[in-house]
């Protein structure tokens, strides 16, 4: 039996430990979901809605304790974890509205009777969760999937198993029938066993590399619905208002210690004095950001990276940039007197260099200087990813050009790239997803449409071409 542990990245204290689920245990969880599915799907949607609302009430009742658990397990500051719990609770009502609007029942009168549109859940849905928002992001798959009448097998990130266990406990408090929600804990091997099992859907949030592997694993199983919410090498063009722009850039690049898929990774600036002023303002503001453990007194902006492995991976990626000639404006470094999971924001000028088109999941911002706005748009689109993009400018003509020319699923103006709303779609193109955006549009991939022509009586229909 393989035992794995979740560690507090600020202290290395063990938060959770337990066995890794085997292939047989994954199959048993899928079988339990399969057995529970018919009765759950047959319930009136109002009963499923009531269960989701009881789940939200359970989260609300344990809100502070749950937020503290997320902070201990991921290193996120408590204000962020509290916000995450708020998003999880709000997701229930948002998902209820989305279910009714996007996957409800519609009827139209026809000369012969009625045309009716219905939706039905796919069946047994496997959900693989990430570590950066270990509650909110899998919750964004699970709630709409359950409302649609699916049964769930959930594997949390192996970095955040305690958060996943707390979510399972909240669903248990909500009184779901046995087998409707199942949890398996483990790492890559457990995930592979779950994906190989008898599932009808796979809902995944994580890295582009893992998403590509999942596409390959399901290439011969077209009946399995696959929804991928992946990362991004997100561009942010800043064109004017240096001081105000700096705050937006810092929020875009460094919030959550750079561990959001929508963080700005590439800052595109004009050559000359305007670009210099923006970069100087960003550098100065980045140097003032307070970095602390989640339970340190006072307010802070960033905590540690989620694990030592994450910190080591970021260091290797930055070292590769430096070998390619990236010029350090603010070097990637460990915070003095702290464990090496605590890192300071980094800024590198990569103008004119051929650097990897890769997501560095850390507070690392790469700067490119361009001659004009056409070159800025071209630089923004020079990526295989397409999740988020942004423009900082008060010129509406530039915004019109940017929103028309940008290739991304989330495109913001004069706001951080990380800004998104639960009542709108969230997702990207290219290496950032597979054209199944989540958030409000999650309802779309949690159910399939059934179109019917219906007449109450049996009447002969015209058959042309008879002798």
How many Å apart are CA 215 and CA 222, to the nearest integer? 10
Per-residue pLDDT, averaged over 228-256, amounts to 96
Res 421: pLDDT: 87
- Dihedral pair phi/psi, residue 399, rounded to 5°: -65, -45
pLDDT in tens, 282-292: 999 999 999 99
Q: What percent of the chain has pLDDT over 70?
A: 100
pTM of the model: 0.95
State the chain's maximal CA–CA distance in angstroms. 94
> CA-CA-CA-CA torsion for 4, 9, 11, 17, nearest 10 degrees?
-20
Contact by Cβ (8 Å): 240, 392: yes
> CA-CA-CA-CA torsion for 94, 96, 100, 101, nearest 10 degrees?
10
- Dihedral pair phi/psi, residue 17, rounded to 5°: -150, 150
- Give the residue carrying structure tokens 């049964």: 151
How many Å apart are CA 413 and CA 390, to the nearest integer? 6
Residues 6+ apart with CB under 8 A from 405: 377, 381
Per-residue pLDDT, averaged over 411-431, amounts to 93
- Dihedral pair phi/psi, residue 348, rounded to 5°: -130, 135
pLDDT in tens, 372-410: 999 999 999 999 999 999 999 999 999 999 999 999 999
Res 210: pLDDT: 95
Banded model confidence at residue 467, pLDDT cuts 50, 70, 90: confident
Res 313: pLDDT: 97
Calculate the CA 223 to chain-centre distance.
Answer: 24
Helices (H) then strands (E): counts for the chain: 14, 21
More confident residue, 388 or 462: 388
Closest listed residue to residue 338, CA positions, set 314, 298, 370, 311: 311
Res 1: pLDDT: 67
* CA atoms within 13 A of residue 127's CA, in its CB half-sphere: 33
Res 130: pLDDT: 96
pLDDT in tens, 155-180: 999 999 999 999 999 999 999 999 99
Contact by Cβ (8 Å): 6, 159: yes
Averaged confidence pLDDT in the chain:
96
pLDDT in tens, 332-381: 999 998 999 999 999 999 999 999 999 999 999 999 999 999 999 999 99
Contact by Cβ (8 Å): 251, 416: yes
How many Å apart are CA 281 and CA 200, to the nearest integer? 50
The alpha carbon dihedral of 205, 211, 217, 218 has a sign of positive
First to last CA, the chain: 74
pLDDT in tens, 110-152: 999 999 999 999 999 999 999 999 999 999 999 999 999 999 9
* CA atoms within 13 A of residue 388's CA, in its CB half-sphere: 28
How many Å apart are CA 170 and CA 69, to the nearest integer? 14
* CA atoms within 13 A of residue 401's CA, in its CB half-sphere: 16
Q: What percent of the chain has pLDDT over 90?
A: 96
Beta strands in 2-105 (DSSP E): 3-7, 14-19
Domains of the chain as residue ranges with CATH: 3-230+433-453 (3.40.605.10), 234-413 (3.40.309.10)
Residues 6+ apart with CB under 8 A from 339: 9, 10, 11, 12, 304
Contact by Cβ (8 Å): 390, 415: yes
Three-state SS for 167?
helix
Q: Which residues are known catalytic residues? A: 229, 261
- Give the residue carrying structure tokens 């192996």: 158
DSSP string, 99-147: HHHHHS-EEEEETTEEEEEEEEE-SEEEEE--SSSTTHHHHHHHHHHHH
Strands 429-430 and 385-386 come out as antiparallel
Per-residue pLDDT, averaged over 435-450, amounts to 95
């Amino acid at each position: 039996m393989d035992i794995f542990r979740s560690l507090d990245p600020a202290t290395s204290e063990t938060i959770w430990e337990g066995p890794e689920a085997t292939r047989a245990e994954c199959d048993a969880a899928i079988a339990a979901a399969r057995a529970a599915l018919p009765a759950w799907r047959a319930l009136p949607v109002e009963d499923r809605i009531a269960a989701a609302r009881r789940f939200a009430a359970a989260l609300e009742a344990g809100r502070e304790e749950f937020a503290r658990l997320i902070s201990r397990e991921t290193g996120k500051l408590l204000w962020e974890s509290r916000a995450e719990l708020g998003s999880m609770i709000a997701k229930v009502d948002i998902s209820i509205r989305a279910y009714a609007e996007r996957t409800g029942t519609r009827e139209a009168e026809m000369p012969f009777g009625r045309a009716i549109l219905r939706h039905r859940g796919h069946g047994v849905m496997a959900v693989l969760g990430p570590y950066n928002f270990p509650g909110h992001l899998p919750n964004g798959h699970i709630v709409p999937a359950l409302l649609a009448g699916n049964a769930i097998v959930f594997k949390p990130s192996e970095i955040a198993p305690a958060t996943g266990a707390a979510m399972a406990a909240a669903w248990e408090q909500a009184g779901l029938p046995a087998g409707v929600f199942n949890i398996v804990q483990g790492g890559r091997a457990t995930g592979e066993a779950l994906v190989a099992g008898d599932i009808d859907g796979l809902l995944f949030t994580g890295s582009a590399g893992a998403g590509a592997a999942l596409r390959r694993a399901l290439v011969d199983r077209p009946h399995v619905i696959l929804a991928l919410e992946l990362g991004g090498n997100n561009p942010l063009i800043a064109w004017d208002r240096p001081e105000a722009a700096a705050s937006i850039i810092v929020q875009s690049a460094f919030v959550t210690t750079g561990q959001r898929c929508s963080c700005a990774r590439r800052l595109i600036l004009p050559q000359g004095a305007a670009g210099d002023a923006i970069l100087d303002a960003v550098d100065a503001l980045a140097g003032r950001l307070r970095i602390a453990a989640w339970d340190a007194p006072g307010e802070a902006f960033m905590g540690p990276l989620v694990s030592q492995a994450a910190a080591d991976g970021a260091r290797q990626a930055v070292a590769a940039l430096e070998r390619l000639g990236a010029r350090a404006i603010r070097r990637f470094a460990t915070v003095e007197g702290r464990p090496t999971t605590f890192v300071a924001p980094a800024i590198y000028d990569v103008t004119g260099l051929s650097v990897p088109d890769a997501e560095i999941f850390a507070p690392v911002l790469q700067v490119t200087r361009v001659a004009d706005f056409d070159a800025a748009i071209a630089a923004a689109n020079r990526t295989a990813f397409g999740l988020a993009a942004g423009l900082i400018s008060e010129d509406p003509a530039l915004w019109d050009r940017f929103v028309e020319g940008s290739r991304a699923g989330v495109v913001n103006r004069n706001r951080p790239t990380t800004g998104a709303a639960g009542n709108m779609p969230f997702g990207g193109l290219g290496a950032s997803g597979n054209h199944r955006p989540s958030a409000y549009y999650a309802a779309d991939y949690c159910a399939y449409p059934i179109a019917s022509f219906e007449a109450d009586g049996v009447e002969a229909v015209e058959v042309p071409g008879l002798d």
